[in-house]
Structures are given as C-alpha cells and as structure tokens.
C-alpha cells in the first residue's frame, strides 16, 4: 500500500516530462526532423563545452532571481505578471549608474545592484499601490507597467543614452570597463558575485517564508485575505511588501541582464528577454516548494541553452524549444491537477487543493 | 428511498472518525443524527452524499449497492446534502448559484429558473432575493438557497448538516411543515444533523446517536431534551446557571452616540448605547436584521455614516479594525472559514498569527501555546492539523481559543454556532470568566434561549430597528420570538 503510493507519486512526477517530450517529438517529425537527434542535441547543447555551460548558468541566474521573487508574490496570492517590467526597470536603473557614475570598480558594481533593486522595487511598489489602494487587478496593472517599462527603455536608448555615433535604437553605448561584473575566468565567464547573490536570495527568502511573521502573514493573506485581516494581519501592507521584495530580486536580474545578455554590457530594447514570463511559468510549476526552484530553473536554462544547437546542427527552428517548454509547463500543471484529484479521492473531496496557486482575485477563493 | 449503511469505516490518520457504522434510513421518515462535536456525524453524511469515500463498507439504496465517486453521482441517485459550511460561489447572485448548481443534473435557465426558485421559496417560507450576491448573504440565507436548490433538483434524500436557525418561529414552522409533508406525501427522507435538540424533537421521527465514531444507539421520538442529552453524553447535564454581576460602578467599554449605520440593504438609525465593562449584551433578530452590522461597527469593520463611537472613553469613530484590535476589541464571525480562520493553515500557524509579534517566529513557543489552547478549549486536533480538517464544532472552539485573553470588548457573532450542548455551555463558562475580569461581551445568536440565559441586556433587531430590553431577566422566549418577527408590543421595563 505504502510502496504503491510512492510509486504513483514518482510516476506522476516523471509522466509529464515524458508526455511533453512525446508531444514535441511529434512536432519535430511533422516538420521533417529526427526527434531523437533533436532531443540529444538539446540535452547536450548546454554542456558541450565550458562556454556553453557558462551560457546556461548565465541564464539560470536571472531566471532564478525572478522566480524566487515570484514565489514571494505567489505566496501572498498575487499574480505578479509585472515581474518582466520590474526586471526592465532594474536594468534601466543599473544602466543609469553604470553610464554616469564615476566610482572605483567594486563600488560601482555594488551601486548598480543597489540601484537595480531600487528600480525593481519601485516598479513593484507601483503595481502594489494600484492593487491595494486603487483596486486595479495586478494582472492588468502588471501588463500595463511592463509596456511602460519597455517604452522607458526605448526612450532612454534613443534619447539620453544615445551613442555618440548617433541616432539608433539598437542600444546604449557599452558600459565603461569599471562597471563590469568580474567573471570567474574568460572561458567560464560567470559572475561569482551574482552566484552568491542568487544563493543568498534563495536561502533568505526560503527562511523568511518559513520562519518569520512576514512570511506567515504573506501566506495567510494569500490563502484568505479576509480572515487574515481579522487575525490581525495588515493585508494591504503584506501585499505591497511582497511586490517590493519581488521587485528587488527582479531588479537585480535586470542588472545582470545588462551585463551578460549582449555581446558587450549595455542596455538594449527587450533587455529582460522574456525572462519574467518564463519565471511565471517556473513559479507555477514549483508552486510554493522553493527547494525545487533552483532545479527547475536549471532545467529550463539547460533546455534553452541547448536550443542554439537545433538550428546550427539540425536546421530546426529554435522556437521548438519554446514549444517544448510550453508543453512541459502545461503537462506538469495538468498532472498536478490530476494528482490533486487522485489524492482527494483517497481522503476528502471537499478539502482544499494540494497545490497552492494564487487565486486570481488574490483574496477570495472560489468554493466548490 | 431506503438507505442502508453497512460496516462503514473511515479513518483520518489516527482518528477513527467512523467505526463500523450500521444504519438504515427508511423513505418518508425524518431522522436526527446526534452526537458531540467530532463524533463523526459530518463524516458519515459526507460519505453518504459522495463528498468523500469510506475506507470500507457499503451503501445500499433500495437494496442495491451503489458506489458513487462524487456528489454529482450521489445527486443523480437522489441524495443531496447541505454542507455545514455551504459550498457556493460568492461572486454569483442567488439566482446564478441556483442555476449554476443545476448544470449537469437538469439544466434550466433564465425565467424558468427564477420561477422555480420563487415557487420553492414560497413553499418553504424562505425569503431570498434572486439578485442579491451571495457574498452579502448571511450564512442562514446561503443555507436556504442550498436547500432550495437541492429540493428543486428533486432529491429523494435530503441531508442537512447543521442548518443554522436564524429564522423566525413562523418561518421555522413553515419549513418544518413543508419538510414533513414532503416526507409523508412524496416519500422524501430527511437526515438532520443538529445540536438544537428542540428542532430535532419538533421535526424528527427517530434519532441515531454517534459517540467517538461509533453508533451508540437509535431511538424513536418523542423524547425529552434531557433524554437525548443523556444518550449523547452518557450523563445528565445540570441546567446552565449564571451569576449576575453588579455593574453600577463599571467603566464604560464602548459607547455609541447617535450612530447611523448603513449597508446596501438596511440602515440602523440614530442609535445610542453604552456598554459597560463586564456587561453581556445579547443581540436577537432574524438573520440580516442589522445585528451583524452593529457587531461589525463595534470593531471598526463597519464605519458609522453619522455619529460617534467611543471606545473606553476615546473617540474612535472611523478607526480601522486593526486600531480597534490594538485598543482591545476582538471579533468572531459566524462564517468562520470565510472570516476568522484560514483553510490551509495549521492550528499553530493560527496561534502564531495572533500571538507571535516579533519578526522571527518562535515556532516552539507558538506550538506550546497551541497545545495549551487545545487543552483548555478541548479542541480535538493536533497543533499540526490544518484547520479545515477539524470538525465544525472544533473549528468553533479554536476560533474562541484565538480570542485575545485581555480583550476589553468581545463582539461575537453566534459564538456557539455548531457546538454541542455541553461545549456550548463550557464556552460560556470561559466567556463568563473573561467577563468577570472586566471584558464586555456583545453577542448575537439565533438561539433565543442562549440570549435570555446569558445576557444582562437584550437588543432586538428588526429590519434595522432596535428595541432594547433593559433587563434580560424580564424577557421571555415567546416575547422575544414575537419581537424578532416585527410584532411591536410593550417592552417590560
Ligand atoms: N479531512 C480531515 N482530515 C483529518 N481529520 C478529519 C477530517 N475530517 C474530519 N476529521 C476528523 O474526524 C473526526 C470527526 O469529524 P466530523 O466532522 O465528522 O465530526 P462531527 O460529528 O461532524 O462534529 P461537529 O459537531 O463538530 O461538526 C474529527 O475528529 C475530525 O477532526
Ligand atoms: Mg460536523
């Protein structure tokens, strides 16, 4: 009996991956490729050599930061779609420091990170303010704020930060050398500082959610804001703080993107690279189990890292990896739902669902 | 339809919630299902209505064994249940819920549905406005809607798990008569889970009594309340006593000065009241007559449109709930899982929310405090239980256990909702201890007996109008019953 339950748990965890691979494999066949070859290329792609592995890690860092932030807002029952804009704002603030401040190297790096946190937090706070004070749903607010952040990037690039050679919207001039984040080696160009920042963020958020009044307040607010209020939780302040903390982490992800996303450190349009949206998917998949988060983000990063190979070797479209990710997320959520149903069959059907995801309104769970 | 339960077992971890239950319910009869809090009544009813499966045992409908996997299939067989905490959709209106609940079973829409709803309501004496959103309905109203929905679907067995009794004596008579006639003429069987023994005696033909998961006996009615109590608890309980306190020199706890309260549906106008420390004020009234609004105004959850509220002499008009909480007010609502408790959180997490105010939570201490509360309030559960895993009455005990110890004012909406007779009395003992150390208590209850027994003063609400009975000892239940139904008469002074 016990063993059987364990088996079904494992198979429910592995099954979505297999289903997702099968579905994508069908797609590969449909466009005339060899699915097995495609799979091996993707899996190998991120680990071909030191440089490609560095690429994976450099994607993993901002993705993990943003997803960690999202766990905070999800715990508070908030769909913080605006995280992409918070990344962008972080990038803009960091760029402002990098392009105009004169500080010795290490200080300038720290200043960029601090500025990025302020920028992201500011953008998160705006979303939180709209939500808690004016009753604007955070999804709509977030989408609008994402747009505004993109426009702000374009404006800065084509205006104040126009490169000396003149009118282009391709990007700002390269950041000065002192502003660059030191890397471990030329071969393995990964920032040790940022790795440490990621680990610290994960550990701190994990501990804070579990062991502090703040974390408990967020959880209470997310599960039932009305009751939380009656139990003495300042629900609006909780929600706002969740946005701010998420914004800080997303902002650092933005600063990181300016440093490592492009051939030379600079800010360009679409600096977030859609990492915010990917992070939302990750947060959906891990729900509130933060210990799973670094693994899941790593898997996503490896898949993306390997995707470059698809085009180079197999002449398949890179978008296939996007499809694989999408299908993977869908199947995982599907199987999560299935598991909840199965579990509730064996216990109590009228109970609440086992995988907590934020309710859309952020305050009221729909019964039934 | 005859129902037979054979060897039903259900365990939740170490708790044997149903232990080898064998019972037969015949069509056309009305049964009471009794038992102390946590005895396993809701569990058994949920099994019978498909909300959860039994671990073992079988259910026979008219002699054939059935295995329904969910409530829809049970409903298809004609077994429908009103849950202890109604499962409706708060954002929808009454009519929408009525229609929504029918999809998959019989599907009707628009005008036909509105007509059907009206018919059912007039037959059972319900007063439900089809366009009211559920969120602004009282618990009693939501339960009425659920009953109307099930009966319109043509259930053959109707299970009522603790319907609240916030209806007038006349409404209750209409409802009971309608149920009896349905049983007699249409063969409907009704299973009523209730702690209101008077209701059970008035309505039921027979009772089954559970204790600690086991069936301890069945008995045909009529019987007296004390006979039923003896069956439930294995002993006879002394009638509740209360010792009046001298309030002459008591300080003022809360004072309402020319206050007007408004909600979407009613207003309580130009209201004056002075509640003293150690005083107990009972609020009588049908569901939604203004007492809910008044209780919320006591703690800043409803703001006065006009007038002033003084708390311990301080003007706190317009202050927020958190400010009232900080000043020493406490509140508990009747809809405990919507307002007060948080499904998904453990008992320890609830305690921590109320007592741990440092940034870092000392989980060891919070757990110890939870254990203390569990012991003092006899909550059946562990610190690690999630609140929704507790039985209804045990949730209520936990809610009461969470009330801050040093409260100046306790505003309690139906403080003993869902508690068995013994626990209700026991909760009142705890409340009286708090009163003795100076807490003022303002409480509402659909149970007029409870109001007369424990109040110093009574306020009767009818459609927002307030009548004060300055000395509760002068009040009788009959008189209160007439007053809450809107019949004006001389109030004894
Ligand atoms: N989902 C669950 N998980 C764990 N334990 C449960 C669950 N549901 C019920 N129990 C336990 O089973 C026992 C019986 O609960 P049940 O709800 O049937 O009691 P009840 O007779 O309806 O009591 P009440 O009068 O308080 O409503 C209780 O001890 C309760 O804690
Ligand atoms: Mg119950």
Q: What is the pLDDT of residue A202?
A: 96
Q: What is the pLDDT of residue A108?
A: 92
- Asked if the model's pLDDT at residue A367 lies above 50, the reply is no
DSSP-derived 3-state class of residue B306: strand
- DSSP per-residue letters across B114-167: HHHHHHHHHHHT----TTSBGGGS-HHHHHHHHHHHHHHTT-SEEEEE-----S
Binding-site residues, ligand 1, Cβ < 6 A: A 348, 351; B 12, 15, 17, 35, 37-43, 84, 380-381, 389-394, 418
Residues 6+ apart with CB under 8 A from B471: B456, B457, B492, B493
Point out the residue among B70, B340, B345 whose CB comes nearest to the CB of A223: B345
Confidence of residue A356 (pLDDT cuts 50, 70, 90): very low
Point out the residue among A220, A346, A351 whose CB comes nearest to the CB of B342: A220
How many Å lie between the alpha carbon of A279 and the closest alpha carbon of chain B?
A: 25
A81 vs A160, which has greater pLDDT? A81
Interchain CB contact of A224 with B (< 8 Å): yes
Cβ within 8 Å, pair A349-B71 = yes
Q: Please give the average per-residue pLDDT across B274-278, as a whole number.
A: 90
Strand duo B3-12 + B15-25: pairing: antiparallel
User: Which residues line ion ligand 2, judged by CB < 5 Å?
Assistant: B 42, 84, 391-392
Q: Is residue B335, in this structure, part of any structural domain at all?
A: no
Q: Do residues B308 and B258 touch, judged by C-beta distance below 8 A?
A: yes
How many Cβ atoms are within 10 Å of A154's Cβ, its own excluded?
Answer: 13
Cα distances (angstroms) measured from residue A300 to each of A90, A310, B190: 23, 16, 56
The domain tally of chain B equals: 3
Residue-wise pLDDT tens digits, B335-380:
888 888 999 999 999 999 989 889 999 999 999 999 999 998 889 8
Q: Is residue B336, in this structure, part of any structural domain at all?
A: no
Residue A135 CA, chain-centre distance (Å), reads 25
Q: What is the pLDDT of residue A328?
A: 74
Distance CA B59, CA B61 (A): 7
- Asked if the model's pLDDT at residue A244 lies above 90, the reply is yes
When mean pLDDT is compared across A188-197, B26-35, B226-235, B372-381, the lowest value belongs to B226-235
Point out the residue among A211, A232, A350 whose CB comes nearest to the CB of B353: A232
Q: At what angle do helices A50-75 and A235-260 cross, to 10 degrees?
A: 170
Confidence of residue B105 (pLDDT cuts 50, 70, 90): very low
- Asked if the model's pLDDT at residue A3 lies above 60, the reply is no
DSSP-derived 3-state class of residue A181: coil
Q: What is the pLDDT of residue B239?
A: 65
Within 8 A of B343 by CB-CB distance, chain A residues are 223-224, 352, 365
Q: Which helix (H) or strand (E) holds B270?
A: strand B267-276
For residue B474, what are its two tokens? Answer: 């002068």
Question: Are residues B395 and B492 both part of a single domain?
Answer: no
- Asked if the model's pLDDT at residue A345 lies above 60, the reply is no
Cβ within 8 Å, pair B388-A351 = yes
Q: How far is the CA of B190 from the centre of ligand 2 (A)?
A: 16
Q: Is residue B334, in this structure, part of any structural domain at all?
A: no
Question: Are residues B299 and B417 both part of a single domain?
Answer: yes
- Share of residues in chain B with pLDDT > 90 (%): 31
Residues 6+ apart with CB under 8 A from B487: none
Q: Is residue B333, in this structure, part of any structural domain at all?
A: no
Cβ within 8 Å, pair B52-A349 = yes
Residue-wise pLDDT tens digits, B146-179:
888 888 888 899 999 888 656 667 777 877 888 8
pTM metric for this prediction:
0.83
Question: Are residues B303 and B391 both part of a single domain?
Answer: no
Question: Are residues B167 and B200 both part of a single domain?
Answer: yes
Q: Which of A132, A232, A340, A346 to mutate to test the interface with B (most CBs of B within 10 A)?
A: A232
Question: Are residues B158 and B147 both part of a single domain?
Answer: yes
Q: What is the pLDDT of residue B164?
A: 67
Q: What is the pLDDT of residue A119?
A: 97
Q: How far is the CA of A70 from the centre of ligand 1 (A)?
A: 35
Give burial (CB, 10 Å; 0-12/13-18/19+) of A2.
exposed
Of A71-75, B265-269, B472-476, highest mean pLDDT: A71-75
Point out the residue among A349, A352, A367 whose CB comes nearest to the CB of B344: A352
Within 8 A of B53 by CB-CB distance, chain A residues are 345-346
Q: What is the pLDDT of residue A362?
A: 33
Q: In chain B, which residue's Cα lies nearest the Cα of A218?
A: B353
Question: Are residues B115 and B196 both part of a single domain?
Answer: yes
Q: What is the pLDDT of residue A217?
A: 95
Burial B243-254 (b: 16+ CB within 10 A, else e): eebeeeeeeebb
Q: Is residue B21, in this structure, part of any structural domain at all?
A: yes
Residue-wise pLDDT tens digits, B230-257:
888 877 666 666 666 777 777 888 999 9
> Which residue, B403, B420, B448, sits at the end of a domain?
B403
What are the structural domains of chain A?
A: 2-350 (1.10.3470)
Counting ligands in written order, the one closest to the CA of B52 is 1
Question: Are residues B361 and B383 both part of a single domain?
Answer: yes
What are the strands of the beta sheet with B206-211, ordered from one edge?
B79-82, B157-161, B189-193, B30-35, B206-211, B214-220
Count the residues in chain A: 368
DSSP-derived 3-state class of residue B231: helix
Question: Are residues B298 and B246 both part of a single domain?
Answer: yes
B484 vs B56, which has greater pLDDT? B56
Within 8 A of B87 by CB-CB distance, chain A residues are 350, 367-368
> What is the CATH number for B120?
3.40.50.300
Which domain, by its residues, includes B132? 3-233
Q: Is residue B213, in this structure, part of any structural domain at all?
A: yes
How many Å lie between the alpha carbon of A204 and the closest alpha carbon of chain B?
A: 13
Distance CA A226, CA A243 (A): 19
């Amino acid at each position: 009996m016990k063993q059987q339950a364990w088996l079904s748990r494992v198979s429910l965890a592995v099954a979505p991956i297999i289903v997702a691979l099968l579905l994508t494999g069908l797609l590969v066949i449909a466009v005339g490729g060899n699915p097995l070859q495609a799979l091996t290329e993707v899996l190998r792609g991120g680990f071909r050599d030191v440089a490609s592995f560095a690429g994976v890690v450099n994607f993993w860092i901002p993705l993990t930061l943003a997803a960690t932030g999202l766990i905070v807002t999800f715990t508070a029952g908030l769909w913080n779609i605006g995280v992409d804009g918070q990344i962008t704002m972080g990038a803009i603030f960091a760029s402002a420091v990098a392009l105009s401040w004169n500080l010795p190297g290490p200080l300038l790096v720290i200043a960029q990170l601090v500025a990025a946190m302020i920028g992201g937090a500011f953008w998160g706070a705006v979303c939180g303010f709209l939500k808690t004070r004016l009753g604007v749903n955070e999804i709509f607010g977030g989408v609008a704020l994402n747009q505004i952040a993109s426009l702000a990037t374009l404006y800065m690039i084509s205006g104040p930060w126009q490169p000396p050679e003149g009118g282009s919207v391709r990007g700002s001039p390269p950041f000065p050398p002192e502003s660059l984040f030191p890397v471990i080696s030329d071969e393995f160009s990964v920032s040790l500082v940022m790795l440490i920042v990621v680990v610290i963020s994960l550990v701190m958020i994990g501990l804070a959610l579990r062991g502090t009044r703040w974390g408990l307040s967020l959880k209470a607010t997310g599960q039932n804001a009305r009751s939380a209020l009656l139990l003495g939780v300042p629900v609006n302040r909780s929600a706002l703080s969740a946005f701010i903390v998420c914004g800080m982490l997303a902002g650092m992800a933005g600063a990181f993107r300016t440093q490592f996303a492009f051939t030379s450190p600079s800010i360009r349009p679409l600096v977030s690279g859609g990492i915010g949206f990917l992070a939302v998917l990750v947060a959906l998949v891990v729900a509130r189990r933060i210990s799973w988060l670094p693994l899941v983000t790593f898997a996503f990063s490896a898949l993306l890292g390997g995707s470059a190979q698809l085009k180079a070797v197999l002449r398949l479209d890179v978008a296939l990896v996007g499809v694989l990710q999408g299908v993977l997320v869908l199947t995982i959520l599907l199987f999560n739902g299935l598991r909840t149903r199965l579990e509730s069959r064996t216990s109590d059907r009228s109970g609440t669902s086992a995988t907590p995801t934020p309710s859309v309104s952020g305050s009221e769970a729909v019964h039934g | 339809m005859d129902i037979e339960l054979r060897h039903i077992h259900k365990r939740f971890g170490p708790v044997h919630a149903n232990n080898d239950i064998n019972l037969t319910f015949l069509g056309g009869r009305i049964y009471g299902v009794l038992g102390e809090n946590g005895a396993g009544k809701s569990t058994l009813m949920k099994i019978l209505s498909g909300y959860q499966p039994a671990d073992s045992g079988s259910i026979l409908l008219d002699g054939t064994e059935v295995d329904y996997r969910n409530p829809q299939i049970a409903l298809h067989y004609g077994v429908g249940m009103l849950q202890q905490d109604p499962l409706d959709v708060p954002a929808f209106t009454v009519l929408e819920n009525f229609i929504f609940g029918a999809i998959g079973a019989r599907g009707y829409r628009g005008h036909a549905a509105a007509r059907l709803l009206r018919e059912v309501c007039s037959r059972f004496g319900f007063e439900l406005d089809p366009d009211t959103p559920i969120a602004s309905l009282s618990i009693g109203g939501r339960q009425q809607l659920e009953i109307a929905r099930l009966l319109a679907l043509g259930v053959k067995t109707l299970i009522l798990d603790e319907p609240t009794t916030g209806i007038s004596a006349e409404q209750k008579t209409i409802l009971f008569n309608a149920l009896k006639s349905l049983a007699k003429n249409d063969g409907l069987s009704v299973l009523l889970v209730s702690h209101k023994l008077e209701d059970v005696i008035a309505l039921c033909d027979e009772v089954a009594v559970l204790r600690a998961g086991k069936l301890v006996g069945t008995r045909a009615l009529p019987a007296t309340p004390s006979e039923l109590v003896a069956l439930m608890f294995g002993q006879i309980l002394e009638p509740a006593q209360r010792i009046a306190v001298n309030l002459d020199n008591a300080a003022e706890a809360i004072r309402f000065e020319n206050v007007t309260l408004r909600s979407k549906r009613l207003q309580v106008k130009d209201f004056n009241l002075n509640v003293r420390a150690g005083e107990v004020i009972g609020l009588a009234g049908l569901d939604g007559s203004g007492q809910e609004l008044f209780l919320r105004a006591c703690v800043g959850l409803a703001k006065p449109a006009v007038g002033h509220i003084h708390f311990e002499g301080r003007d706190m008009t317009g202050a927020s709930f958190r400010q009232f909480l900080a000043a020493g007010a406490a509140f508990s609502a009747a809809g405990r899982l919507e307002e007060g408790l948080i499904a998904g959180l453990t008992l320890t997490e609830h305690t921590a929310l109320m007592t741990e105010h440092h940034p870092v939570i000392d989980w060891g201490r919070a757990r110890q405090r939870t254990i203390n509360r569990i012991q003092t309030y006899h909550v059946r559960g562990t610190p690690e239980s999630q609140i929704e895993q507790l039985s209804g009455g045990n949730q209520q005990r936990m809610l009461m256990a969470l009330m801050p110890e040093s409260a100046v004012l306790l505003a309690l909406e139906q403080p003993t909702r869902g508690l068995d007779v013994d626990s209700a009395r026991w909760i009142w003992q705890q409340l009286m201890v708090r009163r003795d150390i100076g807490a003022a208590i303002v409480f509402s209850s659909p149970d007029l007996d409870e109001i007369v027994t424990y109040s110093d003063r009574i306020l009767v609400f009818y459609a927002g109008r307030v009548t004060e009975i300055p000395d509760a000892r002068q009040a009788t239940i009959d008189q209160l019953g007439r007053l809450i139904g809107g019949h004006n008469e001389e109030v004894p002074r």
